[in-house]
């Protein structure tokens, strides 16, 4: 069964004066994913996010959240959204918990239990009764996320959440975003200009450049079937001869690169050796998202 997208960005453009910030952007975001929005600085990520959460008007097109239009049914559309776009408001001299209680007053029907559940989702239960001024940046951000998910939004939107975090903080963020997507069923939409982070964090990544969508990639986190085909490099002494013998693949430097599964790789190795070609090494070539991104954007700077 194909699940309805949580967000449908439909032909959205944003113009300010004569400048086109976003150019006819169309994107469906499926439920339950950590969905990345990747692009260099100034490519239009924040502008798109601001339109998604109703902080900026849309020049053309529409954004539907759980089927409700941000243009014509704003209240309902944003009721499905939790977001940290600007720095969340916090009282530093109150505890995390007191901040949560204060914040919860804005949404009717939030119980003590729900507050603690949200706190646990982001792994802050052990520090929640400490004052916010003692928190690291990562902890403040978690408290912000706990606030943003209190009303159980279908969609959580985070603009560049890894900015300023140390590697440990980034790892924790990654972990609790996964938990949110999995256990709370929240779709997480997260922007970044850093490919390496997106690769580790997201199920799917949409790539934007100069206000235009240039690609959408699903990432399988290395759990491709064991018998799946992978680009495999055979480092040999006579690559041209190897290519002729095998009749497939391409040459890169002194390697023959062929897409094969494990057993075919072994067979090719045997064939090469029997034909008197020396094989110095066999390795799986994984093209990182970064390579692919550089290819797509023609080697443009990516932060």
**Binding footprint of ligand ATP on the chain (CB under 6 A):** 16, 19, 21, 39, 41-47, 193
User: In this complex, which beta carbon is closest to ligand ATP, that of residue 44 or of residue 239?
Assistant: 44
User: In this complex, which beta carbon is closest to ligand ATP, that of residue 39 or of residue 249?
Assistant: 39
The pair of structure tokens assigned to 83 is: 């977001």
- Give the residue among 287, 233, 243 at the shortest CA–CA distance from 265: 233
Q: Minimum Å distance from CB 284 to ligand ATP?
A: 33
Find out whether 44 and 56 touch, Cβ atoms under 8 Å.
no
Q: Minimum Å distance from CB 145 to ligand ATP?
A: 19
| CA–CA distance, 113 with 39 (Å, rounded to integer) | 39
| CA–CA distance, 141 with 145 (Å, rounded to integer) | 6
Q: Minimum Å distance from CB 106 to ligand ATP?
A: 27
Q: Minimum Å distance from CB 294 to ligand ATP?
A: 18
The pair of structure tokens assigned to 82 is: 């939790």
Beta bridge partners of 187: 155
User: In this complex, which beta carbon is closest to ligand ATP, that of residue 23 or of residue 130?
Assistant: 23
**What is the torsion angle, in degrees rounded to the nearest 10, for the CA atoms of residue 108, residue 113, residue 117 and residue 119?**
80
User: In this complex, which beta carbon is closest to ligand ATP, that of residue 21 or of residue 149?
Assistant: 21
Q: Minimum Å distance from CB 128 to ligand ATP?
A: 31
The pair of structure tokens assigned to 270 is: 């045997």
Beta bridge partners of 235: 255, 281
User: In this complex, which beta carbon is closest to ligand ATP, that of residue 19 or of residue 126?
Assistant: 19
């Amino acid at each position: 069964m194909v699940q309805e997208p949580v967000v449908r960005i439909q032909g959205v453009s944003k113009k300010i004066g004569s400048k086109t910030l976003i150019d006819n952007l169309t994107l469906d975001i499926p439920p339950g994913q950590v969905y990345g929005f990747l692009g260099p600085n100034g490519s239009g990520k924040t502008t798109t996010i601001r339109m998604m959460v109703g902080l900026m008007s849309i020049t053309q097109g529409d954004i539907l959240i759980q089927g409700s239009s941000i243009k014509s049914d704003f209240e309902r559309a944003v009721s499905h959204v939790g977001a940290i776009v600007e720095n969340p408001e916090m009282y530093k001299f109150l505890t995390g918990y007191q901040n949560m209680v204060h914040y919860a007053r804005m949404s009717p029907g939030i119980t003590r239990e729900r507050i603690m559940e949200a706190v646990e989702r982001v792994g802050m239960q052990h520090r929640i009764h400490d004052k916010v001024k003692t928190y690291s940046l990562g902890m403040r951000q978690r408290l912000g996320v706990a606030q943003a998910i209190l009303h159980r939004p279908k969609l959580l939107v985070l603009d560049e959440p890894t900015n300023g975090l140390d590697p440990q903080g980034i790892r924790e963020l990654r972990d609790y975003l996964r938990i949110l997507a999995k256990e709370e069923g929240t779709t997480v939409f997260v922007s970044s200009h850093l490919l390496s982070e997106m690769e580790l964090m997201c199920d799917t990544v949409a790539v934007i450049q100069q206000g235009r969508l240039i690609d959408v990639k699903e990432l399988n986190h290395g759990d491709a079937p064991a018998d799946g085909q992978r680009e495999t490099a055979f480092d040999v002494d006579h690559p041209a001869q190897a290519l002729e013998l095998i009749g497939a693949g391409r040459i890169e430097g002194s390697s023959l690169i062929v897409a094969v599964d494990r057993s075919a790789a072994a067979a090719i190795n045997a064939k090469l050796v029997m034909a008197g070609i020396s094989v110095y090494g066999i390795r799986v070539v994984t093209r990182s998202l970064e390579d692919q991104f550089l290819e797509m954007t023609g080697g443009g700077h990516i932060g």
